[in-house]
Amino acid sequence: MSTERRLSEEPREFGFDTRQLHAGQRPDPNTGARAVPIFQTTSYVFEDPESAGAYFNLQEYGNTYSRIMNPTVAVFEERVGNLEGAAGGVAFASGIAAQTAALFTLLEPGDHVVSSAALYGGTVNQFKHLLRKLNVELTWVDPDDPAAWREAVRPNTKAFFGETIGNPAGNVLDIEALATVAHDHELPLIVDNTFATPYLCRPIEWGADIVIHSATKFLGGHGTSIGGVVCEAGTFNWSNGRFPVVASPSPAYHGLQFHETFGMYGYLMKLRAESLRDLGAALSPFNAFLFLQGIETLSLRMERHVVNALAVAEFLESHELTSNVTYPGLPRSRYAPLVEKYLPLGAGAVFSFDCAGGREGGQDLIRNVSLWSHLANVGDAKSLIIHPASTTHRQLSDAELAAAGVGPGTIRLSVGTESVDDLIWDLDQALDRVR
């Protein structure tokens, strides 16, 4: 046997750039198609009643119905799970649906969640209203203060929740410190990694148990589709006595004990077989296909996003009409040590700043930009701009706005991959008009 052959037979850990193109997929065995085919089908023909029964009993893993699983969606799930270093993933129709399902799977009425107060406004709304309707209590804590998280734990606490890079305050979560506090209390740490993407940070490597994405943002990367995904490390002990909802026989699945039966895949199986089945927020195969196109270039885009974001942040920091530039990648940022630890390749591309003139100044700036698109999204290859107090964070009280780091003149940017000089030129001329 030649040396060359022996080497190629050694198991190899492929790099991120390779896995973002290949993980979870082989060329289609029936057609040879190299791209991931779009399996636009609701259902799958069973071979016989016995195999159909085995699928529905979860004794064998096979396609049944596209609300629960689909081969195109499965490649997307496996690819994100792989890039995050997770046991696997389950996709949803949106990022919000993903976090609803992630929590539904482990919560019961009467439970309690501890959450960072600096979150995407839609998540704040969801937690405040939906969780209350489900009789789940919530404590908001300062994301920067691990002691506050520890003090907030109660006997009925079931999870910690935070964003790797907060939207839009740009705070960086001390994932390792919070995972330690969570695990001291036998709780899972859930991290929304939307703004960092697995290219810039993999929370599981720092102790997080569940990672959530709005794939709508950088994973898709082109502003075409809404979707989300939940990944789980597969290492959390759901049988520690605190989570009968995951570990005990499930009345919603004829008495199946998910953790005991599926071990490291127990939570993910329950997430799919019960939460996705019952909430019904399935990702469409076409959107999964578009997300896969985006992920193929994730690292390349993120490299440009972070270079452009830093240049725009530096420009704004030096401008006399702007203040409070929250880009955590700036050397003077209070988060610089956390960026060095968790985000060594760059601190993402979404941040905010305050425009002189308060609400009117901020709105004037938005009126006068031409290249930046005024819209409610982030993570597009194109540069985006918005005034959170009148849009994404509109439902929040003043106190909640302040906790989320949003002032009346705050502007949020999602810096795209255009020629950075053009982006700075456009902001500069718009600021001149504010003046």
- DSSP codes joined into one string, 276-330: IHHH--PPPHHHHHHHHHHHTTHHHHHHHHHHHHHHHHHHHHT-TTEE----TTS
What is the rounded distance in angstroms from the CA atom of residue 287 to the CA atom of residue 289?
5
Is 216 near ligand PLP (CB under 6 A)? yes
Is 116 near ligand PLP (CB under 6 A)? no
Strands 157-163 and 112-116: parallel
Q: Which CB, 94 or 326, lies closer to ligand PLP?
A: 94
Among 77, 84, 163, 209, binds ligand PLP (CB under 6 A): 163
Is 228 near ligand PLP (CB under 6 A)? yes
Q: Which of 104, 109, 103, 113 is nearest to 158 (CA)?
A: 113
Tell me which residue has its CB nearest to ligand PLP. Answer: 95
Look at the alpha carbons of 233, 113, 170, 192 in this order and tell me if their dihedral is positive or negative: positive
Q: Which CB, 120 or 258, lies closer to ligand PLP?
A: 120
Q: Which CB, 94 or 417, lies closer to ligand PLP?
A: 94
Burial-class residue 320 by CB neighbours within 10 Å (0-12, 13-18, 19+).
exposed
Is 198 near ligand PLP (CB under 6 A)? no
Tokens 């956390």 identify what position?
A: 338
Give the DSSP H/E element, type plus range, for residue 13.
none
Tokens 């002032």 identify what position?
A: 407
Is 120 near ligand PLP (CB under 6 A)? yes
Q: Which CB, 167 or 333, lies closer to ligand PLP?
A: 167
What is the rounded distance in angstroms from the CA atom of residue 267 to the CA atom of residue 396?
33
Q: Which CB, 98 or 141, lies closer to ligand PLP?
A: 98
Beta bridge partners of 256: 250
Specify the stretch interacting with ligand PLP by CB under 6 A; choose among 6-14, 77-85, 117-125, 394-402: 117-125
Is 194 near ligand PLP (CB under 6 A)? yes
- Binding to ligand PLP (CB under 6 A): which residues in 70-99? 94-96
Among 70, 157, 167, 352, binds ligand PLP (CB under 6 A): 167
Is 380 near ligand PLP (CB under 6 A)? no
Q: Which CB, 364 or 380, lies closer to ligand PLP?
A: 380
Task: Report helix, strand or coil for 193.
Answer: coil
Q: Which CB, 123 or 322, lies closer to ligand PLP?
A: 123
User: Residue type for 163, please?
Assistant: E
Asked if residue 371 lies in contact with residue 420, where contact means CB atoms within 8 angstroms, the answer is no
Is 223 near ligand PLP (CB under 6 A)? no
Binding residues for ligand PLP, per CB under 6 A? 94-96, 120, 122-123, 163, 167, 192, 194-195, 214, 216, 226, 228, 378
